[in-house]
Structure 1
Amino acid sequence: MAVKRQLEDLGDVAPRKRPRQSNRDHIGDLSDELWLRIFSHLSVSTLCTCERVSRRFSAIAGDSQIWKEHYYNRFVRPRAARLPGVKDAQSNGHLYFSSKLSKWLDEDSLVKRGRETNWRKQYKLRHNWTRGNCDISEIHVAEQPPIPPLLVRLQDGVLFTVDSIGGLRAWSAKKERRLLTAIPLNCRNSSPPTSLTVDAQGENGDQRVVVGFQDGHFSIYDLDRSNDAPTFRHSYSHAPSTNGMLTAVAYASPYLLTMTAGQLLSLYVFEQPSKDSTAEIRSPPRLLYSLKSHTVHPPLSLSVRPSSTTILASIAYALPTYFSGWSVGVQELKLSLSGELIDSRLATSSNESRRTLASSLPASLSPTRPGSPSVGSQSDSGPEADTSRTQPTSLSYNHPYLLLSHPDNTLTLFLVTSTSTSLSISPGSRLWGHTSSVSGAYVGGRGKAVSVSSHGDELRIWELEGGLNSLSMRKRLSAGQLSVRVQSSQKSSELQEQNLDVLSDAIAQRGSGLGLAMASRVDELSITRGWVGFDEENVVVLREKSNGGQALVVYDFT
């Protein structure tokens, strides 16, 4: 009885059996729609982490609509908020992006019907631009530098190069970096090419190139990309000009603007061929208007902006001013579609009114340059301190932005205002950031610009949108976010070898002073020709190597 009692007592305190654990994955039972809802509230960094968990998470976290909202929140809404009424429309937190706003923001290509945008890829692309992250590769285009120098243009992922040796060539700026096609030039009396432009109105399937020559004539070539193997087709050649070589050309189909060494500005129009016409050779263009000048100095930039009712042909050029260095001028021709001159306007910006971008900032926000007083200080705010007494190295005009580069490590930004009744240029604002002479600069849409140093080892991306006196511009300036530097992790062996040659030659000439010898050798061995251009994915710089060969350096931000 005692033993039975003990067993009963033990039974009273015996632990219960543990419930068997279920191997069921409750998280996996959630539908993709629920996970999509959860992921839509995550930050970009957390979203990228979730993509590495599993294939399912990678597919859900890469949903285009999630990245579309992140793209708008970071890159579109801050810019669209400056438009009247947009901030109120977005106060409810819903995604709001109309076609009208997209056109104003130059984002209409992302919302075209029939085109599926990869918003994750687009976000990564814009993020890399803001951080300066890119891959660098080279395209060798010439063994020896041609005379005149090689001319380059970039449009829609295609690099167009022309010179007297290799002729007109088209290179792919995409990942493969290969030669697409080439055609020898139809040079009259061995006249070399001196200017190059690509049709601003062209599309990917039909790109038209205009080449100007030393004897004043120009030729038009069409790049046919309808087949697997693209080909050039010669379309038209114009007669030579008695006013000298063509120094610049601009083409926005069907209007062509040319500038000769004799300072003759001419605007042509090509008659549109009928739909039933099968002729490949174009008829001669009709001269709409020509203007003779005696004050235009290089560097200069031509542009043609056609609209539904008028044509605006403009030329922006460097302008020397006595006792105060260099300034800029803009000449606009406003014509009707029939070629009748409506108005001719001229505007200049005087150096005396030039100011620094931070001259009106409080002392607490004014940035400083190494080894120099504050930008907004009294010793650096006078007109003499902001005047470049040397001729600008390059000029780029993409309305309304006009950008000059200088050999004193700076750039100057102007805003051009063109209305139906007036034309004006704002006082220039000096931009600092480079640590050596700036050989070339190019300004594109949305106020984005790229500049390169004379030795190609310093490339900077500028975000100039917002106006010279806007609060956002001042904040970015004070925080040092107005530009970002893009550079390779290590210099190429050719560049290192060239730097050693420069140093050894300068030491050999130290009798006249090491500093002067270094300066003269650096000028002689400049490895860039001053040309720089970019599109949505790439920045391209023309570089000359120590052995005399030339290459296109492609900075890929994809």
Structure 2
Amino acid sequence: MGKRSREEEDEAAAKERPTKCTRSSTDDLLSKLSDELILRVLAFLPVSQLAVCQRLSSKYHTLAGDSQIWKSHYYNRFVRPRASRLPGLKELDDSSHSLHFASKASRWLDDEHLVERGRKTNWKRQYKLRHNWTKGTCAVNEIPVAEEAAVPPLLVQMHDGIIYMADQTDGLRAWTAQGERKLIAQRAFEKDHGPPTALAIDTQQHPEPTSTLLVGFQDGAFAMYALQVDEEKFVPRYGHEASSNGVVSAVAVAYPYAVTMTATHLMSLYRFSRQADKAETEMLDPPRLLYSLKSHNVWPPLSTSLRKSERNITISIAYALPTYLSGWTVGIQEVKLDLTGKLLDSRLASAIDQHYRPLAFSLPPMMQHLPLPVSGSLATATMMEMRHIHSKPTSLSYTHPYLLVSHPDNTLTLYLVTSNTESLCISAGSRLWGHTSSVSGAHVAARGKAVSVSRRGDELRVWELEGGFASTAARKRLASGELSVQIRAEKRVMHEAAQAGLDLTSVGSAAPDKADDGTEDGAAELTLTRGWIGFDDEQVVVLKERSGGRQALVVYDFT
């Protein structure tokens, strides 16, 4: 057969190629509009479609990321439902999409910092942050802090993106919890007062980038330090000598006032003189003891807080309370003083009414170890309830008006504290279910957001407890179990942890090692938590201890 010409080969190849699908040539009418009109159209789209629009082009990435659009979505989803529960606040007109809130309402909602003058808020980032909280989605990093557990346990506090730690071996340490997590300051304690037993941070707003810390010690001494963030160092401000009153079990500070609580239940209020002529690096003069109070019914766990106003000082001590024939309950003592230390009022309240049982229906605490009876006047369910009530709380967190208590039976109890000029009272407790193992620690914030962690450290839950359970809708949420969400995370091992050679295991999927260390079922627990947990708007930090004694801070980042 003769050779085909090039023209014939091109025609044959063209026949073999599949026919191209012709695209419809519809005009892009939206892109012809001005940016102002496009923004108006995008404002009607839901969040999911806005995210799609941002992937179309660089132009739509900018327009669909407009801060005012995301501000509207943020307020409609996270602010308006809460604002509608404010007494006396009328429902806003949805048609106008008004985003104006009174200053009083903004303070109650704890969102006024987002709309301050001179502050530019990234509303898309803020929406994503709150969305991740509601879904329990975050990234996890670990910061190794010690090769073996400290005795007594390591003290940890968190404030304004900085994690503070104190122990006898390494002294004071400060880590950044945001961005590149690193050690920014460290200082050994000045004198040998024994191990530190209490740590508190001044949470007041200060214009200078300086934080004030108060540390209590085993011999009854306490010391004040200042963390200068810019210079990355701790500066000692005052050191109090040892006292015969015993171990300092709790401290609180709101400069120039400081409160100490000893293991013998002696509460003391001190006032430092404001010395404007002294630099922040100089030592302060000894403080003046304004007031002291001896208590006889305070039991651990306890929480001490100090609030000051222009006219008075309020000291609140929330504590576990043993009761006759009804196990354990909670109580609170509130002491009000004027600025000179004169006692104005001292009040006590407890939740005894919630947990009290008559003699015929109560099981004495000393009988908890006995097996459940097969038959008798007490049914099995009632007996189980009595044991739960009798169990001593494992942790207690009080941020007015919320008092949150955790129990070894996998539950928590929320109380609401009412404090006014007439009375101080604690509401009936509401039981919270959700954990599948013993709860070792919980922390509640002023807005009602709370985080709890199990003893094994493999289960964290975020709770929305705002307003309590007085309304019918809140009680339905309590009954349906919609109050909390479990934190689910993907681990991202930090470079520092890899260098330290720690055996880091993915959170939530850890299996126990087969080792005999006296734990249940002859198996060693990979991680334990000692009850400390802290969080802010962006992160949750938990102190965990490996079965070998090594300790690490686990940071759950929701950004």
Greater shift in the superposed pair: 133-142 or 198-207: 198-207
Q: How many residues matched? A: 502
- Superposed, 1:191-230 pairs within 5 Å as 191-203=194-206, 205-225=209-229, 227=230, 229-230=231-232
Q: 1:214-239 CA deviation, whole Å, 9 max, x = no partner? A: 111111111112x3x42111111112
Greater shift in the superposed pair: 215-224 or 485-494: 485-494
- Confirm or deny: 8 A CA contact 1:324 1:351 kept in the other structure: no
Q: Letter of the 2:545 partner, please give it.
A: E
Name the SS of the counterpart of 2:137 in structure 1.
coil
Q: 1:228-266 CA deviation, whole Å, 9 max, x = no partner? A: x42111111112221111111011222211101111011
CA distance in 2, matches of 1:66, 1:156: 28
The offset of 1:525, in angstroms, is 7.2
CA distance in 1, matches of 2:261, 2:91: 48
1:36 to 31, 39, 52: 39
Name the SS of the counterpart of 1:35 in structure 2.
helix
Q: 1:271-299 CA deviation, whole Å, 9 max, x = no partner? A: 22235767721111111111111221100
Q: Letter of the 2:146 partner, please give it.
A: A
Query: For residue 269 of structure 1, what is the aligned residue in structure 2?
Result: 271
Name the SS of the counterpart of 2:87 in structure 1.
coil
Query: For residue 75 of structure 1, what is the aligned residue in structure 2?
Result: 78
Q: 1:102-130 CA deviation, whole Å, 9 max, x = no partner? A: 11111111112211111111111111001
Greater shift in the superposed pair: 106-115 or 455-464: 106-115
CA distance in 2, matches of 1:325, 1:541: 30
The offset of 1:333, in angstroms, is 0.5
- Superposed, 1:83-482 pairs within 5 Å as 83-90=86-93, 93=96, 94-188=98-192, 190-203=193-206, 205-225=209-229, 227=230, 229-274=231-276, 280-350=282-352, 352-353=354-355, 384-385=385-386, 387-482=388-483
Name the SS of the counterpart of 2:341 in structure 1.
coil
CA distance in 2, matches of 1:53, 1:278: 54
Q: 1:26-48 CA deviation, whole Å, 9 max, x = no partner? A: 43321111111111111111111
CA distance in 1, matches of 2:121, 2:235: 32
- Confirm or deny: 8 A CA contact 1:353 1:383 kept in the other structure: no
Q: 1:357-414 CA deviation, whole Å, 9 max, x = no partner? A: xxxxxxxxxxxxxxxxxxxxx9868994584322111110000000111111011111
- Confirm or deny: 8 A CA contact 1:222 1:232 kept in the other structure: yes
The offset of 1:493, in angstroms, is 3.3
Gaps of 5+ in 1: 1-20, 356-377, 510-516
- Confirm or deny: 8 A CA contact 2:451 2:461 kept in the other structure: yes
Q: 1:83 to 1:243 in 2, by over 3 A?
A: same
Q: 1:66-88 CA deviation, whole Å, 9 max, x = no partner? A: 11111111111111111234224
Name the SS of the counterpart of 2:447 in structure 1.
helix
CA distance in 2, matches of 1:256, 1:352: 33
CA distance in 2, matches of 1:520, 1:348: 41
RMSD: 2.7
CA distance in 2, matches of 1:482, 1:498: 26
Query: For residue 14 of structure 1, what is the aligned residue in structure 2?
Result: none
Q: 1:526 to 1:328 in 2, by over 3 A?
A: farther
Q: Letter of the 2:390 partner, please give it.
A: R
The offset of 1:96, in angstroms, is 2.2
TM norm structure 1:
0.84
Name the SS of the counterpart of 1:87 in structure 2.
coil
Q: Letter of the 2:436 partner, please give it.
A: T
Query: For residue 67 of structure 2, what is the aligned residue in structure 1?
Result: 64
CA distance in 1, matches of 2:197, 2:66: 49
Q: 1:389 to 1:383 in 2, by over 3 A?
A: same
Query: For residue 360 of structure 1, what is the aligned residue in structure 2?
Result: none
Q: Letter of the 1:431 partner, please give it.
A: L
CA distance in 2, matches of 1:332, 1:291: 11
Name the SS of the counterpart of 2:516 in structure 1.
helix
Q: 1:117 to 1:504 in 2, by over 3 A?
A: same
The offset of 1:474, in angstroms, is 2.1
Name the SS of the counterpart of 1:346 in structure 2.
strand
CA distance in 2, matches of 1:234, 1:119: 40
Q: 1:39-58 CA deviation, whole Å, 9 max, x = no partner? A: 11111111111111111111
The offset of 1:97, in angstroms, is 1.6
Structure 2 residue 552 is matched with structure 1 residue 548? no
TM norm structure 2:
0.84
CA distance in 2, matches of 1:64, 1:401: 34
CA distance in 2, matches of 1:277, 1:168: 21
Query: For residue 369 of structure 2, what is the aligned residue in structure 1?
Result: none
Name the SS of the counterpart of 1:86 in structure 2.
coil
The offset of 1:496, in angstroms, is 9.7
CA distance in 1, matches of 2:355, 2:280: 56
The offset of 1:445, in angstroms, is 2.1
CA distance in 1, matches of 2:346, 2:451: 31
Q: Letter of the 1:481 partner, please give it.
A: E
Greater shift in the superposed pair: 131-140 or 46-55: 46-55
CA distance in 2, matches of 1:319, 1:191: 29
Q: 1:276 to 1:183 in 2, by over 3 A?
A: closer
CA distance in 2, matches of 1:22, 1:495: 52
CA distance in 2, matches of 1:427, 1:383: 20
The offset of 1:540, in angstroms, is 0.5
CA distance in 2, matches of 1:137, 1:495: 10
Q: 1:290-323 CA deviation, whole Å, 9 max, x = no partner? A: 1111221100000011112111101000001122
CA distance in 2, matches of 1:479, 1:411: 16
Q: Letter of the 2:151 partner, please give it.
A: I
The offset of 1:210, in angstroms, is 1.0
CA distance in 2, matches of 1:43, 1:425: 43
Q: Letter of the 1:60 partner, please give it.
A: L
- Confirm or deny: 8 A CA contact 1:324 1:352 kept in the other structure: no
CA distance in 2, matches of 1:422, 1:137: 45
CA distance in 2, matches of 1:102, 1:52: 34
Q: 1:475-515 CA deviation, whole Å, 9 max, x = no partner? A: 323443110001345895388998443x5539xx9xxxxxx
- Confirm or deny: 8 A CA contact 2:432 2:478 kept in the other structure: no
Q: Letter of the 1:262 partner, please give it.
A: T
Q: 1:122 to 1:488 in 2, by over 3 A?
A: closer
The offset of 1:133, in angstroms, is 0.4
The offset of 1:146, in angstroms, is 1.4
Name the SS of the counterpart of 1:436 in structure 2.
coil
- Confirm or deny: 8 A CA contact 2:411 2:434 kept in the other structure: yes
